[in-house]
Each structure stands twice: as C-alpha cells, then as structure tokens.
Amino acid sequence: MIVTRQKPFEVILKELEDSKSVFLVGCGDCATACQTGGEDQVKEMTEKLSGEGKEVTGSVIMETGCHELDLKKEFRAHKDELGKSGAVLVMSCGAGCQAAREGTEKPVFPANDTLFLGNVLRVGQFEEKCRLCGDCLLDITGGICPVARCHKGILNGPCGGTNEGKCEVDPEKDCAWTLIYQQLEKEGKLDKMRAYQPPKNWNTVLKPGRLVLEREKGGGKGE
C-alpha cells in the first residue's frame, strides 16, 4: 500500500491559482484506504473547490490510480469534462499523478504527498516495514527488516542505545534489532546475529526502477 497524506487545502489552492476549472482524479486503491483520494474525499474536494469559485468539470475514481493504460482509457471516456478543465488535480500518490501526466496535455497537480510503502495494521493505520531496497535480507534477520524498521538502518545491530526493547531514537517504537534477536532466538539461529553483514550495495535500487516480465518464460527481469 502506498501511503499518502493530503496536502493542506491552501497549498492545493495555490497549485490551482492559474486554473479556473479543474478535473479531479481519485484512486480506488491505496488512496481510498488512506482517505486521500476515495469517493468521499473527491466529493469533499469538489465542494471545497466549488466554494472557492473553481468549476469542477468532472471527476473519475480510478480502480488503481497508477495504471497508465486504464487511466488513458478513462481520460478518453471523460474527454469532454477533461477538455473543459484548465487543470487536473490528482488525488492519489505521485505515481498516479505521473500516470495522469501521460494521459493529458493539461497541467497536472498533486493533491497528496506520498510518504511510504506501508503495511496496513488496521483501518487507517499504516507502518513502513520495507524500503524497497532491491536486495532483500529478511532470510538472515528472522523476517524483520532492519533497513526499514531500525531508525539507523544498521545491518549489524543493535546499536548501543537500545533500551528495554525500545529504540533510542523513538522510545515509542520497538527496537528492530531486539525483535530480530528474539525471533532468531526462538528459531535457534542466534549464530546469524554473530555473522558480519557487509555494507549494503545500494546499486540494486538504482532509480528509476524498471521491471519487464518475460512472459514466455514466466520470469521477471529487473533493471
């Protein structure tokens, strides 16, 4: 789940200062779960923008906001409403906003800030547990990621600051390395704690990421 947070309304208004009319794009997937781009939020945004004298020419809520082909299809289906608008306000993540960029010549603006890839703990509660590092080491850390869940991202932990299982940087949070220790202890694999981990090779996540599946072989090729 891509976690987003809506920008303050004054910021959105500033983005739209040169546009008298706007077309809204929501997302039925992550942004709906984050309450930043679902049906209710698109409706609310329509009312707020109308209250500021902006004409909302139409809106669409994508099943998945970052699906470029679907989005182009929807834009074609909403050609008239889109044609009347001076701008497109995208209420999904940055990927969705750029998907919209590919589908129209109109100026495109983000309504949200995109924060992280988050696990859903319960409705409305998200936590980052993976930083998409491109070289997963969960096999040696008991399935708990120090890259994302240790504040210092250290690979040979814990640091000297762990205190009764909590992190020195944020005492509200469990120390990832204490969790890793406890898990490996349960598995009888504490020897993995003693093995030195070399510095991470960040070349595996050279940006921009790209993956093209090789369909005939059923495998995938990442770059």
Strand intervals (E) in 65-172:
87-91, 108-110, 112-122, 125-128
> Smallest distance from the beta carbon of 181 to ligand SF4, in angstroms?
10
Based on the shown chain and the rule CB under 6 A, indicate whether residue 175 belongs to the binding site for ligand SF4: yes
> What is the amino acid identity at position 60?
V
Q: Cβ 143 to ligand SF4, closest distance in Å? A: 9
C-alpha closest to that of 89 among 126, 50, 124, 117: 50
- Position 190 contacts ligand SF4 (CB under 6 A): no
In whole angstroms, how close is the CB of 203 to ligand SF4 at the nearest point?
14
For position 157 contacting ligand SF4 by CB under 6 A, the verdict is yes
Question: What is the DSSP annotation of 142-191?
Answer: TT--HHHHSTT--SS---TT-BTTB-SS-TTSB-HHHHHHHHHHHHT-TH
Q: Can you tell me which of 69, 77, 121, 169 binds ligand SF4, judged by CB under 6 A? A: 169
* Shortest distance (Å) from residue 194 CB to ligand SF4: 16
* Buried-state track 110-140, b at ≥16 Cβ within 10 A, e below 16: bbbebebbbeeeeeeebeebeeebeeeeeeb
Cβ 117 to ligand SF4, closest distance in Å?
8
Closest CA to 137 of 151, 121, 128, 148: 148
State yes or no: residue 158 binds ligand SF4 (CB under 6 A): yes
Question: Which CB, 80 or 185, lies closer to ligand SF4?
Answer: 185
Choose which of 152, 182, 183, 193 interacts with ligand SF4 (CB under 6 A): 152
Residues near ligand SF4 (CB under 6 A) are: 130-133, 136-138, 145, 147-148, 150-152, 154, 157-159, 161-162, 167-169, 175-177
